Amino acid sequence: MLPEIFPATARRSSTSCRLGTLGIDRFMLGETGIGILKLLTLGVCGVLTIVDWFTVQKRTKERNYNSLMLVL
C-alpha cells in the first residue's frame, strides 16, 4: 500500500469544522503562525474559524496543486 502524498480535501474540511477554533486546520496547512494565533485566542473569538469554514477547501486544493507541480 502506497503512502498518501496528497491529503484529502474532505478531511481538512472536517478538521476545520471540528478543531478550527484551536488552529489545527492551519497547522495542517503549514501556517504555524496563524495556527498559534488561533490556538491562543480561540480562533480570534470565532471570527477566523468561521472564515476558515468557507476558505479551507480552496487553500487545500491550492496546496495540493503546488505539491503536485513540484513533483512533476
pLDDT in tens, the chain (72 residues): 434 555 556 666 676 677 777 888 888 888 899 889 988 998 888 888 888 888 887 888 888 888 888 888
| Tally of domains within the chain | 1
The verdict on residue 29 lying in a domain is yes
**What is the Cα–Cα distance from 11 to 18, expressed in whole angstroms?**
11
**What is the Cα–Cα distance from 38 to 32, expressed in whole angstroms?**
10
The CA–CA distances, whole Å, from 63 to 21, 24, 45, 53, 57 equal: 21, 16, 26, 17, 10
Q: pTM score, two decimals?
A: 0.65
The verdict on residue 19 lying in a domain is yes
The verdict on residue 22 lying in a domain is yes
